[in-house]
């Protein structure tokens, strides 16, 4: 167990600063997307390798430590992921929407990295999970057909970009999943590839119409008016503003999560969250961003399966053996996330030894951490980050109503091995 200094991508950390996270300005990411969002990296990815904060250990990164002592990962993780930490932790504070995007599967990631390494820096897939710290707003997956068809009728500016032919084809395909997927792909691709003058003119017309309706006191929810105006104010003239008519708008409450598998279209709009993902930085973008966009790849790769927003919520499971532990276990082997909420009455809590390395992040509360492998106690406060080797338990003394997030690189790690209060 040792303390980590964590890579931060400082871009205006409003609510995260309120939560009390600490930052050490090292290894700052060289390309920041916005002055109104913030990303904090915790892991061993080459673009944001954490530094070990321990005066008894010579200056090195977490990745270097793992390379020297691969056994710290646990035998199964070490063998499965070739001696690499398989996951990456992030904290995000989003004030300005982050891009319309999707992440490739392994096959596509390898191909994109081989062809365009300057844009796709590794060959790994990037399934990810977002767990809300505050109310968190995003876009995720294609809306149900009736909602998309409803917007095509209510929002003529949107229909103008899709085109009558494609819109009618989508209408006639309703009820046939195979035809629906193809027709939805055609509609989305046509919109994303329409001429700039056309979509800018239609967007300006839509903004003008909704603004006038709002000024007159009319209800603009049928046109998703509030969100449209907000995105346009952040990214004027951006085709991504129209994506709100295709994609589900999801609102997560603290502790709720969404899992984003390969090829799932999504965007983060506002709020604070913890992300856990496979150790990759591969993102295909096509709107609401100043970064490199790859419209053709995005339109070709997406999962065009309409589903209600309720299907996008990822459930957590409370551990029967330890009521303090909530498990988020996605259908990928790269990571599992545990949320630990320690009651105020607890005087001691043990994070039991597991067969996987983990990264522990303190969300709030304070405690003193001790471990047989550590040479001294470590005082934990909000924003503290610990790397915990496999088969190492950590005792927290006087945890003071602490809330912890623990990322693990071992999906099968038994939850019941977390110590009880």
Q: Residue ranges for the binding site for Zn(2+)?
A: 101, 103, 128, 266
In angstroms, the CA 340 to CA 343 distance is 10
User: Catalytic residues, which ones?
Assistant: 285
305-339 burial by CB neighbour count: b if 16+ within 10 A, else e? ebeebeebebebeebeebebbbbbbbebbbbbbbb
Which long-range contacts does 219-222 make (Cβ < 8 Å, 24+ apart)?
Answer: 222/154
C-beta neighbour count of 285 within 10 angstroms:
23
SS3 170: helix
Token pair for residue 210?
């909704």
Task: Supply the DSSP symbol for 36.
Answer: T
- Please state the residue numbers annotated as binding site: 101, 103, 128, 266
Phi, psi of 245 (to 5 degrees): -90, -15
Reported in sequence order, the residue ranges of 133-241 that DSSP labels E, i.e. its strands, are: 136-142
In angstroms, the CA 364 to CA 368 distance is 13
Q: What crossing angle do the helices spanning 145-154 and 164-173 adopt, rounded to 10°?
A: 150
């Amino acid at each position: 167990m040792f303390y980590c200094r964590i890579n931060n991508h400082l871009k205006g950390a409003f609510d995260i600063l309120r939560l009390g996270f600490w930052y050490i300005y090292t290894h700052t990411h060289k390309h920041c997307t916005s002055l109104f969002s913030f990303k904090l990296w915790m892991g061993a990815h080459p673009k944001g390798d954490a530094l070990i904060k321990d005066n008894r250990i010579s200056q090195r990164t977490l990745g270097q430590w793992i390379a020297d002592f691969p056994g710290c990962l646990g035998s199964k993780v070490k063998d499965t992921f070739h001696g690499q930490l398989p996951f990456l932790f992030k904290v995000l504070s989003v004030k300005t929407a982050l891009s319309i995007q999707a992440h490739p599967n392994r096959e596509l990631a390898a191909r994109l990295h081989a062809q365009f390494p300057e844009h796709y820096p590794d060959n790994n897939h990037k399934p990810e999970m977002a767990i809300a710290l505050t109310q968190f707003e995003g876009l995720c997956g294609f809306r149900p057909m009736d909602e998309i068809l409803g917007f095509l009728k209510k929002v003529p500016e949107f229909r103008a970009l899709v085109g009558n032919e494609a819109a009618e084809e989508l209408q006639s395909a309703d009820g046939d999943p195979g035809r629906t997927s193809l027709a939805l792909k055609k509609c989305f691709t046509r919109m994303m590839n329409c001429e700039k003058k056309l979509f800018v003119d239609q967007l300006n017309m839509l903004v003008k119409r909704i603004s006038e309706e709002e000024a007159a006191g009319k209800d603009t929810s049928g046109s998703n008016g509030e969100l449209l105006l907000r995105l346009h104010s952040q990214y004027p003239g951006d085709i991504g503003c129209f994506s709100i008519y295709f994609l589900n708008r999801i609102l997560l409450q603290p502790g709720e999560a969404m899992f984003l598998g390969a090829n799932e279209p999504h965007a983060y709009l506002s709020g604070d969250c913890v992300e856990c993902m496979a150790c990759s930085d591969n993102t295909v973008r096509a709107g609401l961003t100043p970064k490199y966009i790859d419209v053709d790849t995005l339109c070709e790769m997406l999962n065009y399966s309409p589903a209600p927003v309720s299907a996008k919520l990822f459930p957590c499971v409370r551990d029967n053996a330890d009521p303090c532990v909530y498990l988020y276990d996605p259908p990928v082997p790269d990571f599992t996330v545990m949320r630990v909420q320690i009651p105020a009455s607890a005087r001691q809590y043990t994070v039991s030894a597991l067969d996987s390395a983990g990264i522990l992040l303190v969300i709030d509360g304070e405690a003193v951490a001790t471990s047989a492998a550590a040479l001294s106690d470590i005082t934990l406060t909000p924003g503290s980050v610990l790397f915990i080797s496999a088969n190492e338990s950590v005792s927290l003394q006087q945890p003071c109503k602490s809330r912890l997030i623990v990322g693990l690189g071992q999906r099968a790690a038994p939850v019941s091995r977390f110590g009880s209060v």
